[in-house]
Every structure is written in structure tokens, then in C-alpha cells.
């Protein structure tokens, strides 16, 4: 091979391998593994359908923690408070019975629907956390 073909091979190899690796720009996954996963939980009336869905999502996040051997801490708040905390990297994700077509999806990142309808909110650009969540969601389906 000529030197040009070697160089081209190296460039193609680097591009292909780099594209397949999820990024962790805010070091969320690293923080979760070293400390704990901070999960925002939207406050909802106890007798509501949304509350029941949120409780199911809490159980799902506890199973996620067991699956990846990470601790979880649940922090309650309003949607506005939690989205602010998420966007300022104070929490890692939000559970709240959100549907995939929620109007807030422009302010946050979302997972794929775990039941065909509902999603979890994550910071925009958190590809490694998204990868881990969706890998887990796929395994429990």
C-alpha cells in the first residue's frame, strides 16, 4: 500500500470508531457511577393517574440502578424547578409521566418511549446517559 492509502485507512478507522462511541459531555454518567444518580420526580396529587405512573417510573429507575450498580436519590419538585435543575446539571434525569409529544421536549432531551407513549427527560446532548437508559429500557421490554 502507498502512504496515502495507509493515511486514508487510518482516517476512516478513526471516524467510524469515534461515531459509534456515545459521548458524555457533562460527565453525567461518570458522576452517576462515582456518586449517585440524582432523579427529579415531578410532584403529582396522590390520587391521580400521573402519580401512579410516576411511582412505576421510580420502580423502573430503582431497577436501572440495580442493573448498572448505581445508587439513586429521588428529589421532588415542580416541572419548572426540575427542568431548571436538569439544565444546570444539578440532577441527571426527570421522571414525571411525560408523554413523548410533551411541549417541554424542546427544552430537554428525551429517551425513546419506554412503553410506546411515555419518556424520561435528560439533559440535551447527554448521549452516554441516553444510551444506558435506552439499553436498559430495551432489556426490560
- Indicate the SS3 state at residue 24: coil
- End-to-end C-alpha distance for the chain, whole angstroms: 48
User: pTM for this structure?
Assistant: 0.82
Q: Which CATH class is domain 23-140?
A: alpha beta
Would you list the domain boundaries of the chain?
A: 23-140
Please give the pLDDT value at position 136: 93
pLDDT band at 22 (very low <50, low <70, confident <90, very high): low
Please give the pLDDT value at position 6: 46
Please give the pLDDT value at position 27: 74
Average pLDDT value for residue range 50-63:
96
Average pLDDT value for residue range 53-67:
96
The residues near 88 (Cβ < 8 Å, ≥ 6 apart) are: none
Residue 46 burial (CB < 10 Å; 0-12/13-18/19+)?
Answer: exposed
Most confident of 21-30, 59-68, 105-114, 118-127: 59-68
Report pLDDT digits (tens) over 68-124.
999 999 999 999 999 999 999 999 999 999 999 988 878 999 999 999 999 999 998
Segment among 35-44, 77-86, 121-130 with least mean pLDDT: 121-130
The residues near 63 (Cβ < 8 Å, ≥ 6 apart) are: 136, 140
Residue 21 φ then ψ, to 5° = -100, 115
Residue 106 burial (CB < 10 Å; 0-12/13-18/19+)?
Answer: exposed
Amino acid at each position: 500500500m502507498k502512504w496515502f492509502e495507509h493515511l486514508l485507512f487510518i482516517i476512516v478507522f478513526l471516524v467510524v470508531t469515534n461515531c459509534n462511541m456515545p459521548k458524555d459531555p457533562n460527565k453525567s454518567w461518570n458522576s452517576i457511577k462515582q456518586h449517585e444518580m440524582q432523579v427529579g420526580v415531578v410532584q403529582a396529587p396522590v390520587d391521580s393517574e400521573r402519580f401512579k405512573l410516576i411511582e412505576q417510573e421510580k420502580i423502573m429507575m430503582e431497577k436501572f440502578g440495580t442493573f448498572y450498580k448505581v445508587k439513586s436519590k429521588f428529589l421532588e419538585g415542580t416541572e419548572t424547578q426540575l427542568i431548571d435543575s436538569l439544565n444546570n446539571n444539578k440532577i441527571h434525569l426527570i421522571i414525571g409521566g411525560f408523554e413523548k409529544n410533551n411541549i417541554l421536549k424542546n427544552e430537554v432531551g428525551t429517551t425513546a418511549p419506554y412503553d410506546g407513549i411515555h419518556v424520561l427527560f435528560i439533559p440535551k446532548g447527554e448521549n452516554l446517559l441516553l444510551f444506558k437508559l435506552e439499553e436498559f429500557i430495551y432489556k426490560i421490554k
